[in-house]
Amino acid sequence: MILESISTILLILGAFFSLTGAIGLFRFPDFFTRVHAASVTDSIATILIIFGLILRTDFDLVTVKLLLILVFLLFTSPTASHALAKSARHGGLLTLPEIRATKKEDCSS
Amino acid sequence: MTELIDLVLLGMLAITALRIIFLKDLFAVVMLFGIYSFLSALIFVNLDAVDVAFTEASVGAGISTVLMLGTLALTGRKEKTNNHTTFLPLLVVVITGAALIYGTLDMPPFGDPDNPAQQHVAPRYIQDSPQEIGLPNMVTSVLASYRGFDTLGETAVVFAAAIGVLSLLGLPKHEKAAIESGLKSHLVLRVVAKLIVPLTLLFALYVQFHGDYGPGGGFQAGVIAAAAIILYALVFGLPMATHVIQPTLLKALAAIGVLIYAGTGFASFFLGGNFLDYNVLASDPVAGQHIGIILIELGVGVTVFAAMLSIFYAFAGQAERANIQ
Amino acid sequence: MSFIVDYYNYWIVVFLMMAGFYIVISANNLVKKIVGLNIFQTSVFMLYISIGNVSGGSAPIVADGITRYSNPLPHVLILTAIVVGVATTSVGLALIVRIKRAYGTVEENEFEDKDDLI
Amino acid sequence: MFEQHSPVLPIILPLIAAPICILLGRSQLAWLFATFISALGFGISIGLMLTTLDQGVLSYSLGGWEPPWGIEVRVDAASALVLCVVTGISSLVLVYAKESIAKEIDSSQHTLYYTAHLLCLAGLSGILSTGDAFNLFVFLEISSLATYTLVSLASDKRCLTAAFRYLIMGTIGATFILIGVGMMYMKTGTLNMLDLAARISEYDSSRTLNTGLAFILVGVSIKLALFPLHMWLPPAYTHAPSAVSAFLASTATKVAVYVMVRFIFTIYGAEYVFHTMGMDTILLVLAIVAIFKCSFMATVQSNVKTVLAYSSVAQIGYMILGISLVSTLGLTAGLLHIFNHALMKGALFMAVGAVLLRTGSVDIKAFQGLGKQMPLTMAAFTIAGLSIIGVPLTAGFVSKWYLVTAALEQQEWTVAFLVLAGSLLAIIYVGRILEAAYFKNPAEGTTYKEAPLLMLIPLWILVFANIYFGIDTSMSVGAADTAAQWLTQPSSSPATALSVNMGGATQ
């Protein structure tokens, strides 16, 4: 019973972070902040949701599988975000402050 | 509850589909298609079709999307605005859709256990297959044994696709001097890929041999194993990957997989049964079924792995050629 | 009301099928045509899976304490159909790559014009 | 010991031979092996035909599971007849292909060509012999994928767009069939054809089943290139390698016609399709429009392969016409025309392939004066062309004769007249080519050798078959008639057939 309510709280928190991630993805001004928002869903939200689910298992094989999924996701998601950001940087995308800075330079010169 | 989730997912699918119609950026179209595939995989899970969901997620969303992206890299990502009249296609679609809606009006209600589809042939699979075949996963039983001939055909289709792509694009030459390619500057990616690739291969083996008891089987395993090598090729470059698994070997493997499958069928010939009758493969019918299913799933897995990977090689080889030129 | 509950699933699936079908026959870009074809097929798969669904049923893998399973047959058919679909997709995409190389374009009206010139 | 397995052998022999071809690697070996397997399949098919004419239906349950739980392979007179056509033409085309593809296909791809050919053959045989509606879809896709590959093997870049258009149309067709099969399954809970027939006959009319049938018919119509869904066919047959055109023109569409016959007569029953849904009028009108529109299109083309392709669509019109007459005689005529048309169109495309090999062109101008320079090839072309027109003593005459008789039997005077009028158009389009070949002088200073022997032999075998089956009709008409009788007679009600066959399968 206690486990179940803790699990519910974790799941709701996970859902909340997913939602904020999604909102951030839409509302943030430039590419890098958006990647940051998206990676929130990948990391904290998945951790919370998977722990929420683990608390609902009978602590058998399913638990182990869930943990494995978590490990797998913790390997891949941050790497993906990192690769995205790095490629963007490599490809010449600028952050918002930088864009402003260059604009100012353009105006002054 | 199931119905509600179903409805929400279907709504999301509808929005995705509409968006795809109007988008001109093909890169976004392909990514949305990947999303569409994943959403339909979720619907399949929700409607209890776990094996199908697994396949859709790995084949539909995984391989198809990768191949589409590979094509876009070669053909450009913008769709030109067309001045075609859209009236005729719309008319055709409306007529077809109206015919389908008309057809639904006599359909048995959604989810009703008394539907004819649930009554005639299916109950035997549900009630008797655990005894007749000895496997808990009924989908595997039906796939590999009752309708094993379909699956043989399906393996042949994959093989035919590999033949088609190879004849169109050709395999990349196996070169000793690896050209500068792959993602040299991405240190993090390279390290993580080294960790992930063996894990993925291990998982593919698990899916291959656990398919009798849970969701999974040769198709999914083959695709996952291919995905592991594809990841390797993406991160370390195609020449490295072709060095590890040579294209000519893949061509042979794709053929060998079909031969394993058909050979199992012929084995039952010579042991006195019908084609693909696994009962005769061992003294005990259930044991025979088990041997037969493991063999043919192996054949499927080998063919799918080799076919998918050689198709990827063919596309990647084209991209590499385009880069050099 | 029960009418809608009985059929809503089929109707949305029909809508999805037609969305895919529309993309196939209206798109001018070949890659988009293939995407449309995939959407069309995936939606047909959903029709099949809907046929096999039993409300209150469980996935067709034998487990303790479960008496009602969904119908495994449509699942098997669709497993086959998905693989057939990806096979067609890969051959189609390979053709597109070759068409691009031969004609320099993947827009249908453009290479039709070039075909006429020959 | 292979006797009992013979119904399934024409499918699995080429299916297992295809990967072996790849493993053989060398194109010479692959050619020998593929031809051997195809000829073996032809022999087995002949055996099957004799057995079915003698003993009736052969049923074989795959995996030992009795239908409807397992998949059944069912060979009756109709499927055995078309199976003989497919495997026979395939063997001849393979013999012919060695010289033909040497020029038209890049040498590194010859092994792939033989592999794809075998896969296509396996798919077509599978469609013909399977007794399971979904299994039919799977084999349809095997043959289709192999066909797209075959078409795209040509060196002309237009084959790519032709193949792509074919792929899109073919996949739409297959998906429509899939929808139709799903709707049938939804109402009946089974996929076995006979079982479906028994369960569908319990419904007088059902909106779901009607829609299912409509989708299947539209899907199959795309595959068989029924007017107005034929747009993929002319470019595909024009730009494909000649050996492929010869093979496809004489088998692929015929198999699709067979599928239509199967769905109409075996599964839904003629009563349901023609009386409840009134499909006969629609098919009749489309068939007649196809005959005239496409024959006319054939008369104005300058590319000879395109002429033949349009002529194919028109000839398919004749087959559908026979089916839509709703009588045993009409169906006999339709099946007979499947058989005869395969003989003539195969020969025509082979002759054109020989011309392409020597002159490097298939334009009508390239045919000028060929009557003297390539006499054997052009003589073969002439005889096969006369057969298309329907001149007496050729196979084409026999099927036209049966069509007209069937139309007259139904008091359809206009239809009978239109069939004859359609032949006039055939005279024009065949005549134009013959005129160029025999009455025009060749361009100056060009001399061409006669086609190589390996191409002439299969070509002339087909030509002799055209003449033989035009004179001695007992074999072809007998088989078609038995097949049509079996398909239309109500006495062999599906339910009893199923129970008999289940007793046989479980032994």
Candidates B49, B15, B20, B53; CA nearest to B37 is: B53
| pLDDT attached to residue C114 | 65
Identify all chain C residues contacting B20, using CB atoms and an 8 Å cutoff: 19, 23, 35-36, 39
Confidence band of A60 (pLDDT split at 50, 70, 90): confident
Q: B118 to chain D: nearest residue by CA?
A: D189
- Specify whether the CB–CB gap between B103 and D212 falls below 8 A: yes
| Both tokens assigned to D266 | 């075996």
**CB-based contact, B179 to chain D, within 8 Å:** no
Residue of B nearest to C19 (CA): B17
For residue B241, give how far its alpha carbon lies from the nearest alpha carbon of chain D (Å).
22
**Inter-chain residue contact B275 with D62, CB threshold 8 Å:** yes
Across the interface, whether the CB atoms of B74 and C83 are under 8 A apart is answered no
pLDDT at B182: 61
Rama region for D450: left / alpha / beta (φ>0; ψ in -120 to 50; rest): beta
Q: How confident is the model at residue D208 (pLDDT cuts 50, 70, 90)?
A: confident
Does position C34 have pLDDT exceeding 80, yes or no?
yes
Containing domain of residue C95, as a range? 2-55+69-116
The larger pLDDT score, comparing residue D369 to residue D168, is at D168
With a CB cutoff of 8 Å and minimum separation 6, the contacts of A31 are A88, A93, A95
Q: Does B120 touch chain C (CB under 8 A)?
A: no
Contact state of D168 with C99 under an 8 Å Cβ cutoff: no
Which residues of chain B make contact with D134, given a CB cutoff of 8 A? Answer: 150
B219 vs C69, C79, C106: nearest CB: C79
The tens digit of pLDDT for each residue in D382-438 reads: 999 999 888 888 888 988 889 999 888 888 888 888 888 888 888 999 998 888 888
Instruction: Please give the pLDDT value at position C1.
Output: 63
Total domain count, chain C:
1
Indicate the pTM of the whole model.
0.93
Residue with structure tokens 């031809």? D35
Residue D177 has pLDDT above 90, yes or no: yes
Whether A contacts D, i.e. 3 or more CB pairs less than 8 A apart, is no
- Average pLDDT of span B49-57: 90
- CB–CB of A82 and B185 under 8 A? no
Partner C contacted by B10 (CB < 8 A): yes
Residue B88: how many other CB atoms lie within 10 Å: 11
Which of the four pLDDT bands, split at 50, 70 and 90, describes residue D506? very low
* Distance to chain C for D185, nearest Cα, Å: 9
- How do residues D303-326 score in pLDDT, each as one tens digit? 889 999 999 999 999 999 888 888
Amino acid residing at D456: L
Does C83 lie at the interface with D, CB-CB under 8 angstroms?
A: no
What pLDDT, on a 0 to 100 scale, did the predictor assign at position D502? Answer: 37
- Report the gap between the CA of B132 and the closest CA in chain D (Å): 11
C57/B213 Cβ within 8 A: no
- State the average pLDDT over residues B164-172: 87
pLDDT at position D150: 93
ipTM (interface predicted TM): 0.92
Residue C62 lies in a domain: no
Cα A6 to Cα A68, B160, D82: the distances in Å are: 21, 53, 69
The backbone region for D497, taken as left when phi is positive above 0, alpha when psi lies in -120 to 50, beta otherwise, is alpha
Decide: B218 and B298 in contact? Cβ < 8 Å: yes
Q: What is the pLDDT of residue C118?
A: 43
Mean pLDDT for D334-348 is 91
From the candidates C77, C80, C100, C118, which should be mutated to test the interface with D, based on the most D CB atoms within 10 A? C77
Nearest residue in chain D measured CA to CA from B255: D19
B84: confidence class by pLDDT, cuts 50, 70, 90: low
Q: What's the Cα-to-Cα distance from D50 to each of D3, D5, D72, D328, D483, rounded to whole Å?
A: 13, 15, 20, 21, 12
Collect all residues of chain A within an 8 Å Cβ-Cβ radius of residue B188: 79, 82-83, 86
Residue D274: the pLDDT is 81
The pLDDT assigned to B227 comes to 92
Q: What does each C-alpha distance from C83 to B30, B60, D132, D429, D438 come to in angstroms? A: 19, 8, 19, 44, 52
Picking from D455, D451, D447, D422, the residue whose alpha carbon sits closest to that of residue D321 is D422
B contacts of A76 (beta carbons < 8 Å): 192, 196
- Nearest by CB to B149, which of D63, D68, D211? D63
* Alpha carbon distance A101, A106 (integer Å): 9
- The CATH number for C100's domain is 1.10.287.3510
Q: Number of CB pairs < 8 Å for A and B?
A: 20
Nearest CB to B258: which of D19, D134, D149? D19
Chain B interface test: which of A75, A77, A81 (most B C-beta within 10 Å): A75
C50-103 confidence digits (pLDDT tens): 888 888 888 888 888 788 888 899 999 999 999 999 999 999 999 999 998 888
Mutate to test the interface with B, among C31, C34, C39, C83 (most CBs of B within 10 A): C83
Tell me whether residues B82 and C39 touch, CB distance under 8 A.
no
pLDDT of residue D491: 44
| Omega before D10 within 30 of 0, i.e. cis | no
* Cβ atoms of residues B233 and B190 within 8 Å: no
Instruction: Inform me whether the C-beta atom of residue B297 falls under 8 Å from chain C C-beta atoms.
Output: no
Most confident among B132-136, D23-27, D353-357 (mean pLDDT): D353-357
A67 in reach of chain B (CB within 8 A)? no
**In the predicted model, is pLDDT for residue B1 greater than 50?**
yes
Q: Which of B146, B152, B163 sits opposite D69 (nearest CB)?
A: B146
Q: Is the pLDDT of residue B303 over 80?
A: yes
Tens of pLDDT, residue by residue over D257-273, are 999 999 988 888 887 88
> Residue C103 domain-assigned?
yes
The average pLDDT across B174-200 equals 74
Q: Which DSSP symbol is given to B280? A: G
Q: What is the pLDDT of residue B144?
A: 87
Q: What is the C-alpha separation between C38 and C24, in angstroms, rounded?
A: 9
Nearest to B20 among C39, C71, C72 (CB): C39
Chain A touches chain B, with at least 3 Cβ pairs below 8 Å, answer yes
**Confidence check: pLDDT of D493 > 60:** no
Using a CB-CB cut-off of 8 Å, the residues of chain A touching B196 are 72, 75-76
Residue C61 lies in a domain: no
pLDDT value for A56:
85
Cβ of B37 within 8 Å of Cβ of C79? The answer is no
**Cβ–Cβ below 8 Å for A76 and B192:** yes
Chain C nearest CA to B304, separation (Å) = 9
What contacts B305, CB < 8 A, 6 or more positions away?
B204, B221, B222, B223, B225, B226, B253, B257
Q: Per mean pLDDT, which range of A95-109, B23-37, B255-269, B292-306 is the poorest?
A: A95-109
Chain D residues in contact with B269 (beta carbon < 8 A):
1, 5
Cβ D16–B266 below 8 Å, yes or no? yes
pLDDT at residue A24 is higher than 80: yes
The pLDDT, as a whole number, for residue D134 is 93
Answer yes or no: is C33 within a domain: yes
- CB contacts, 8 Å: B116 with chain D: 186-189, 199
Q: What is the pLDDT of residue B113?
A: 81
- Cα dihedral: D287, D288, D293, D296 (round 10): 120
Judged by CB atoms closer than 8 Å, whether chains meet at B157 and C84 is answered as yes
Residue B306 in this model has a pLDDT that exceeds 60? yes
pLDDT of residue B324: 64
Comparing CB atoms, the residue among C7, C76, C86 nearest residue B104 is C7
| Cα of B192 to nearest chain A Cα, Å | 7
Residue B183: its pLDDT value, please? 65
Residue C89 lies in a domain: yes
Residues of chain B contacting residue A72, judged by C-beta atoms under 8 Å apart: 196, 199
Closest residue by Cα to residue B54 from B116, B143, B122, B131: B143
Cβ–Cβ below 8 Å for C98 and D152: yes
Give the distance from residue A94's alpha carbon to the nearest chain B alpha carbon, in angstroms. 19
**Residue of chain C minimizing CA distance to D188:** C51
pLDDT at D40 over 90: yes
Q: Kindly tell me if the per-residue pLDDT of D479 is higher than 90.
A: no
Predicted pLDDT of residue A109: 58
- Give the pLDDT band of residue B31 (cuts 50, 70, 90): very high
Q: What is the pLDDT of residue C117?
A: 45
Contact yes or no for B108 and D187 at CB 8 A = yes
Window C:7-46, CB contacts with B under 8 Å: 7-23, 25-32, 34-36, 38-39, 42-43, 45-46
Helix (H, G, I), strand (E, B) or coil at A55: coil
Mean pLDDT of chain D: 86
Q: What is the pLDDT of residues D102-151, one digit of tens each?
A: 888 888 888 899 999 999 999 999 999 998 999 999 999 999 999 999 99
Question: Which residues, listed in sequence order, are joined to residue D303 by a DSSP beta bridge?
Answer: D363
| Angstrom distances, CA of residue D160 to CA of B68, B176, C86, C110, D99 | 18, 33, 19, 14, 23
* Confidence band of D2 (pLDDT split at 50, 70, 90): low
